[in-house]
Amino acid sequence: MSRLFALIVTCSLAVPVHAAEPAAGVQVPQELKSTYAPSVTTRYLFFLPVDYGKTDQKWPLLVCLHGSGESGDDLEKVKSHGPPKLVETRPGDFPFVIVSPQVRDDEVPAIDRWQPRFIAELVEHVASHYAVDRDRIYLTGLSMGGFGTIRTLAQYPDLFAAGAPICGGGWDYYARQLKEVPLWFFHGDNDRAVPVELSTVLVKAIRREGGRPRLTVYENVDHDSWTATYDNPELYRWLLSHKLSDRAAKP
């Protein structure tokens, strides 16, 4: 049984704590009890685009992974940065279903807090219960979430159409799994929390494997490379330009 098929079968049994469909254009808290580990409940912010439900249209799904500072049990902290912050005041600018999960602030090292199987389980749950276009599922994250983005894409490259890791990175042995995934890396050249080399080394490794990742390095920028990135409409246009089926169509 393939990993993705096993994921679909398993996640169909995941238990939503809040089953009522939220209103379109309003970001709301939701919870999902894991079937992998029944003691684990993933809390997340959930957003349906303002025109959701007006037609039978299927919508792209954007999954956003926060940094270590937003860990904990206060879901409001997830609204500090990126799309979960921006949709609060600009809901009409985001033609995506947006899922922004939160991890707890526990003794696990920050780099290991985002567990790919729980992210994939959440994606499968949302895609199964809402009008999601499975051909256009995207993953992004900042800092700790940037590491989580890379790790998840490496483990589930056939689940996501594209990814945008910001001030994160990963080990060069991920390169082979990532070579077919459209990626756009972002980093500040003066980042003292996560050195820019953690992005540049991985980008070079992916290119050696035949991949074509993009890399934007902001000059004279420390750790906060996410504000400029998430404020840039070009990021979202780039994500939407990619479909999972485009990879399958390659010779």
Q: Which residues contact 113 (CB under 8 A, 6 or more apart)?
A: 68, 71, 103, 104, 106, 144, 148
Q: Any idea where the domains of the chain sit in the sequence?
A: 3-248
Structure confidence at residue 249 (pLDDT): 67
> What confidence tens digit (pLDDT) does each residue in 155-196 have?
999 999 999 999 999 989 999 999 999 999 999 999 999 999
Q: Which of 28-37, 72-81, 147-156 has the lowest mean pLDDT?
A: 28-37
Spatial CA neighbour of 194 closest among 234, 145, 157 = 145
Whole-model pTM: value is: 0.91
Kindly state the average pLDDT of the residues 116-127.
96
Please report which confidence band the pLDDT of residue 119 belongs to, taking 50, 70 and 90 as the band edges: very high
Please report which confidence band the pLDDT of residue 25 belongs to, taking 50, 70 and 90 as the band edges: very high
Kindly state the average pLDDT of the residues 217-225.
98
Is residue 18 pLDDT above 80, yes or no?
no
Fold of the CATH domain 3-248: Rossmann fold (3.40.50)
Kindly state the average pLDDT of the residues 82-95.
98
Residue with tokens 């033609």: 95
10 Å CB burial of residue 135 (0-12, 13-18, 19+) is middle
Is residue 8 pLDDT above 90, yes or no?
no
Please report which confidence band the pLDDT of residue 52 belongs to, taking 50, 70 and 90 as the band edges: very high
